[in-house]
Structure 1
Amino acid sequence: MAFWLSRLGVSLALLAGGASSSLAQTSDQPGGDDPVKRGEYVFNAAGCLGCHTESKDAPRLAGGRALKTPFGTFYSPNITPDRDSGIGGWTQADFNCAMREGKAPDGSSYFPVFPYTAFTHLTDQDLQDLKAYLDAQPAVAKPNRPHEVSPPFGWRFLLPVWQAMFLDEGGLPPAPGRDEKWLRGRYLVEAAGHCGECHSPRNFLGAVDHSKSLGGSADGPEGKPVPNITSDQQAGIGKWSANDIAFMLEIGMTPDGDFVGGGMNEVVSNSTSKLTAADREAIAAYLVTVPPVGR
């Protein structure tokens, strides 16, 4: 499962700027006026459960799940509202700063195994709703486990330099001429779902190689390869129809009748199967347009 790991109501002004509205701003969005229910939808779209829960029988969202990477093993943090070991003492500003800038309330920087390089594109409303949901969950007193990362990759004081080089804060760039469905799908893939964090190769400093975005990775989470999901006919999923993609996101079955395994099975179970059918279709509409990346 990835650590690296909105239904779009877009006005003409937003379309011109390429911005995205929140997941909550759609008439058929589950949750209505309840920020906790809306936040649950954002939580599911972002796949938070698998990353922040150590195992099936472990306390929910109390962290401790190991993520093996070429740089060492990272352990997910406790995101329950426990005030000592979780995020119970965080303000909304603290939460937004973590999600958008990769910084803790004490000013220290987070390792990019936490996919803030994608979450930085989330809207204010979605961040508010997500925090409301997390604040409503049971608090679990479980200290965070230290990462096991060798120097220099474990030197946290170097992270501000990394962030200055590779963190592109703010909303997604303009996309003139694209319709609401495509924009919605892009937001779900590139921001909330942070698919590129697992499905893209990384450079020697651990940053996503955007020139090969969604082109797969030989060194994915937990040391396993992650497939190419671009429109390449041979290396990617270019032979899949939009319906094939949406169906896979719903039940995990590929066009050849096989079922996805490993981390993607968790993504389907914890995330994409819980989205609305329209959102899965929006993701598919976006993915079929992703430029092909060959082998």
Structure 2
Amino acid sequence: MRLLPSLAALALLAAGTGWWLTAPKPLPDSTFAGVTGDATHGEQVFTAAGCASCHMAPGAEGEAQRVLSGGQRFASPFGTFLAPNISPDPTQGIGGWTLAQFGNAVMRGVSPEGEHYYPAFPYSAFNKMTVQDLADLKAFMDALPPDATPSLPHEVGFPFNIRRSLGGWKLLFLRDDWVIDGTLSEPETRGRYIAEALAHCGECHTPRNLLGGLERGRWLAGAPNPSGQGTIPNITPAKLGWSEDEIVEYLTSGFTPEFDSVGGHMAHVVENMSRLPESDRQAVAAYLKKVPASE
């Protein structure tokens, strides 16, 4: 009978340890001290990160793409995620957020209420953003049109609807180091920042394990489409045989060397990339040539 109290104590200790380990971990309070955002540069960050591509209303075109009312649906093996309203509306959007709250959401996947966000929101890439770029991004987004459309709930069933369990996912898979490391030229370093952080290319082009963690050893080697329809291509040198100039042209015009044209969600990516300085597209091309070939 003495064993029962001991087992109960161990169970309580294990539960407490698990609760502590899976707790959201916000950024230090000092992270944004003295940081002021520049909205002009923030527009470039916004474009590179493709914020409108996911958070505009379904089917939005032209300037309506900058009304970030949300509502697009993103199917996955874990359920369907619906992009929330991130317009500056103070009630339905994020207009009332402080820079620290915005930073915790984007770089740590932690909501202002202290809950984990699902990694369908690519904070696992955005956590490599510079603090200044983050502040610039918020300054630009604060000036976009507000919209009072309520965010819709995600369609995620048990056990994936237990938000606290995402703390365990973060412990296993959330990393802030670069995938491609070592000595890089200035353009390659800039390309890495765009591809691995802002544009979060690996989130789609890298295969995932059964728990949804990126298989970094097969970086950019292609993956099944989360919707279950088709595949996302391998863009390592093993499959993408284009020259750097051809990659730049594709990211500018959407045309491949074979005179095919971009389609699907990648069309939004190319549209965003085409708005960046050409030096950034050249940097991405240089980075892709640095990625190890993977079959």
**Cα distance change on mapping 1:277 and 1:209 into 2, 3 Å:** same
Q: Identify the residue that residue 115 of structure 2 maps to in structure 1.
A: 108
Aligned with 2:260: secondary structure? Answer: coil
Task: Give the whole-Å Cα distance in 2 for the aligned partners of 1:218 and 1:176.
Answer: 29
Task: Give the whole-Å Cα distance in 2 for the aligned partners of 1:34 and 1:92.
Answer: 9
Contact 1:54 1:66 survives alignment (8 Å): no
Task: Map 1:63-212 onto structure 2 (within 5 A).
Answer: 63-169=70-176, 172=178, 175-212=181-218
Which is further off, 211-220 or 273-282? 211-220
Task: Give the whole-Å Cα distance in 1 for the aligned partners of 2:189 and 2:236.
Answer: 17
Instruction: List alignment gaps of at least 5 residues for structure 1.
Output: 1-32
Identity value in percent: 45
Task: Give the whole-Å Cα distance in 2 for the aligned partners of 1:178 and 1:82.
Answer: 42
Q: Which amino acid aligns with 1:287?
A: L
Q: Identify the residue that residue 240 of structure 1 maps to in structure 2.
A: 242
Contact 1:45 1:188 survives alignment (8 Å): yes
Contact 1:200 1:217 survives alignment (8 Å): yes
Q: How much does 1:177 deviate? A: 2.6
Q: How much does 1:223 deviate? A: 4.2
Q: Which amino acid aligns with 1:104?
A: S
Q: How much does 1:176 deviate? A: 4.0
Aligned with 1:61: secondary structure? Answer: coil
Choose from 49, 52, 56 the match for 1:53: 56
Aligned with 2:140: secondary structure? Answer: helix
Task: Give the whole-Å Cα distance in 1 for the aligned partners of 2:224 and 2:37.
Answer: 41
How well do the aligned residues superpose, as a CA RMSD in angstroms?
A: 1.8
> Is residue 290 of structure 2 the alignment partner of residue 293 of structure 1?
no
The one of the two structures with greater contact order (alpha-carbon pairs below 8 A, sep at least 6) is 1
> Is residue 273 of structure 2 the alignment partner of residue 267 of structure 1?
no
Indicate the structure with greater helix content. Answer: 2
Contact 2:37 2:132 survives alignment (8 Å): no
Task: Give the whole-Å Cα distance in 2 for the aligned partners of 1:115 and 1:201.
Answer: 15
Contact 1:200 1:212 survives alignment (8 Å): yes
Which is further off, 43-52 or 215-224? 215-224
Task: Give the whole-Å Cα distance in 2 for the aligned partners of 1:267 and 1:70.
Answer: 23
Which is further off, 187-196 or 259-268? 259-268
Deviations 1:175-200 (A, max 9, x none): 44311111000000000010000011
Q: How much does 1:174 deviate? A: 8.5
Contact 1:246 1:281 survives alignment (8 Å): yes
Q: Which amino acid aligns with 1:279?
A: D
Deviations 1:186-230 (A, max 9, x none): 000000010000011111111111111101111335744211101
> Is residue 217 of structure 2 the alignment partner of residue 216 of structure 1?
no
Q: How much does 1:47 deviate? A: 0.6
TM-score computed with the length of structure 2 as normaliser: 0.83
Q: Identify the residue that residue 37 of structure 1 maps to in structure 2.
A: 40
Report the structure number with the largest CA radius of gyration: 2
Instruction: List alignment gaps of at least 5 residues for structure 2.
Output: 1-35
